[in-house]
């Protein structure tokens, strides 16, 4: 579900009108629906039902403290990829003992910080990293819990920049080498304790088949490692895709639906029905690491139209958000629906929606047929809750946008807009 709907002709997040938020807090502005985030978390939790499981939210998708706090209170675990993310989880009241630490390049300082905070497990991506983890843990006189990320060589059939489970990707260790590595760890690295096994084949998967293929392929290995090395968990990663080509409950729905007739949701219940039976008899704790599924459709980016320019070839609608605020279209050819804040039944127009950044790649859509809007109007870029704000930068010396978290009829500023002074803080 998502909570962005027209009520009396005005686009709302839950019970809060987005126009009011844009007017009060300015644009560009990220707005998140807290109840959508919780709904997605609980849906996935239910889908994994009978399994001994934990949902380790992938913090990288949206690391705002208020979002993390919501999830921590709901009982979520966290999958982190840096010392900075661990710091955020702790500040938000999350439990470090429920954190897994992923990533191919953990530094010494990050390893020490995570060891001192007794995280649940380091998800290790190379033999060299496992040896180094052993060395640092020995220096500190502690034992480091570890899992190895297996690269199952399964095609996730997603954008090439977010596919991770093929042999040519930098992630994980080849399937065939895993057994020997666990044996080596037991022999040579007494300060690591092999606690689990991890995999993650890619992000924004829109079909269940690659998940099933990977689970089937790796299951015998998980079984073997449980018997031989007493591992206690298997993390099957994140990657559940969301619908970007969405439709709101409005007269505009047909336009959006027509835009991409192939776009269909990956049903979380079908996902559970396909995957859970394969895992039930293993006797391992199952972890999942969803990011986008939890927060993606729970957020929008509001931006105001500044100018319209009609050239010989195209019409450009120039808005006050840029690729520095939401980079997904530029980096992954990502699609974000555009919704006007007032329900709009005028004749749709074809245009490019572009930002103010000095780059040709600074666009939110090209040649898209959409409801018309004019300078002064605010529009919403939908499905921007994941990999939106977290990937924003100060490029072109633009302050980072503010973030708002909505709960029912209440909206709080979860992060203030940066000021000009914030932009130069730390420089001499």
Q: Are 170 and 104 in contact (CB under 8 A)?
A: yes
The strand pair at 53-58 and 173-174 is best described as unpaired
Considering 13, 99, 358, 365, which one is annotated as catalytic? 358
Where does this chain touch ligand LLP (CB under 6 A) — which range of 28-36, 285-293, 357-365, 407-415?
A: 285-293
Q: Using CB under 6 A, which of 38, 58, 99, 286 touches ligand LLP?
A: 58
Interface positions, 372-411, toward ligand LLP (CB under 6 A):
386-387
Phi-psi region of 333 (alpha: psi -120 to 50; beta: other; left: phi over 0): left
Is 152 among the residues that bind ligand LLP (CB under 6 A)?
A: no
Strands across the sheet with 16-17, in order? 4-7, 10-13, 16-17
> x/- contact string, 99-128, with ligand LLP (CB under 6 A)?
---x--------------------------
Separation between Cα atoms, residue 76 and residue 399, nearest integer Å: 31
Q: Using CB under 6 A, which of 74, 162, 177, 274 touches ligand LLP?
A: 162
Strand partners, 55: 288
**335 SS3 class:** coil
Q: Where are the beta strands (DSSP E) in 158-296?
A: 173-174, 192-198, 233-235, 285-288
Strand partners, 151: 174
| Tokens describing residue 54 | 């934990």
Q: Which is nearer to ligand LLP, 204 or 247 (CB)?
A: 204
Is 129 among the residues that bind ligand LLP (CB under 6 A)?
A: no
Q: Using CB under 6 A, which of 28, 96, 272, 291 touches ligand LLP?
A: 291
Separation between Cα atoms, residue 165 and residue 145, nearest integer Å: 23
Catalytic residue flag (residue 99) = no
Is 78 among the residues that bind ligand LLP (CB under 6 A)?
A: no
Separation between Cα atoms, residue 119 and residue 101, nearest integer Å: 8
Interface positions, 17-56, toward ligand LLP (CB under 6 A):
none
Torsion of CA 104, 403, 68, 123, to 10 degrees: -10
Cis peptide before 399 (omega within 30 of 0): no
Where does this chain touch ligand LLP (CB under 6 A) — which range of 198-206, 216-224, 259-267, 417-425?
A: 198-206
Instruction: Kindly state the smallest distance separating residue 217's Cβ from ligand LLP, in Å.
Output: 17
> x/- contact string, 213-252, with ligand LLP (CB under 6 A)?
------------------------xxxx------------
Is 61 among the residues that bind ligand LLP (CB under 6 A)?
A: yes
Is 328 among the residues that bind ligand LLP (CB under 6 A)?
A: yes
Separation between Cα atoms, residue 90 and residue 13, nearest integer Å: 28
Instruction: Kindly state the smallest distance separating residue 387's Cβ from ligand LLP, in Å.
Output: 3
Where does this chain touch ligand LLP (CB under 6 A) — which range of 43-51, 251-259, 283-291, 310-318?
A: 283-291
Where does this chain touch ligand LLP (CB under 6 A) — which range of 67-75, 129-137, 289-297, 303-311?
A: 289-297
- CA 68 to chain CA mean position, Å: 12
Residue 95 CB burial class (10 angstroms; 0-12, 13-18, ≥19): middle
List residues with catalytic annotation.
Answer: 358
Interface with ligand LLP (CB under 6 A): 58, 61, 79, 102, 162, 200, 203-204, 237-240, 289-293, 328, 332, 386-387
């Amino acid at each position: 579900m998502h909570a962005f709907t027209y009520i009396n002709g005005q686009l709302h997040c839950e019970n809060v009108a987005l126009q009011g938020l844009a007017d009060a807090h300015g644009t560009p502005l990220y707005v998140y629906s807290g109840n959508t985030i919780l709904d997605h978390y609980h849906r996935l939790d239910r889908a994994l039902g009978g399994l001994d499981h934990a949902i380790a939210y992938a913090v990288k998708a949206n690391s705002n403290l208020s979002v993390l706090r919501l999830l921590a209170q709901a009982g979520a675990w966290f999958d982190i990829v840096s010392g900075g993310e661990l710091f955020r989880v702790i500040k938000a009241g999350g439990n470090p003992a429920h954190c897994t630490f992923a990533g191919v390049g953990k530094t010494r300082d990050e390893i020490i910080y995570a060891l001192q905070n007794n995280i649940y497990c380091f998800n290790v991506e190379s033999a060299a990293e496992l040896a180094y983890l052993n060395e640092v843990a020995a220096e500190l006189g502690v034992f480091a819990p570890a899992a190895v990320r297996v690269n199952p060589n399964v095609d996730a059939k997603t954008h090439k920049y977010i596919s991770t489970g093929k042999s040519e990707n930098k992630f994980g260790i080849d399937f065939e080498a895993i057994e020997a590595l666990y044996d080596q760890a037991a022999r040579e690295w007494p300060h690591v304790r092999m606690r689990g096994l991890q995999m993650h084949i890619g992000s924004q998967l829109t079909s269940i088949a690659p998940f099933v293929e990977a689970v089937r392929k790796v299951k015998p290995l998980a079984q073997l490692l449980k018997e031989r090395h007493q591992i206690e968990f298997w993390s099957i990663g994140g990657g559940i895709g969301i619908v970007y080509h969405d439709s709101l409950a409005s007269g505009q729905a047909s336009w959006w639906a027509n835009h991409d007739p192939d776009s269909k949701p990956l049903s979380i219940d079908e996902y559970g029905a396909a995957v859970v039976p394969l895992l039930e008899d293993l006797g391992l704790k199952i972890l999942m690491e969803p990011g986008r599924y939890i927060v993606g459709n729970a957020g929008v980016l509001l931006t105001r139209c500044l100018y319209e320019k009609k050239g010989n070839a195209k019409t450009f609608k120039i808005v006050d958000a840029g690729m520095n605020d939401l980079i997904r279209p530029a980096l992954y050819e990502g699609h974000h629906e555009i919704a006007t804040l007032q329900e709009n039944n005028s004749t749709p127009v074809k245009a490019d929606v572009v930002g103010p950044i000095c780059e040709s790649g600074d666009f939110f859509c090209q040649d898209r047929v959409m409801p018309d809007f004019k300078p002064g109007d605010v529009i919403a870029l939908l499905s921007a809750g994941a990999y939106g704000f977290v990937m924003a930068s100060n490029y072109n010396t633009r302050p980072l946008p503010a973030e708002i978290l909505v709960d029912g009829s209440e909206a709080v500023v979860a992060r203030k807009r940066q000021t000009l002074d914030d932009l130069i803080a730390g420089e001499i």
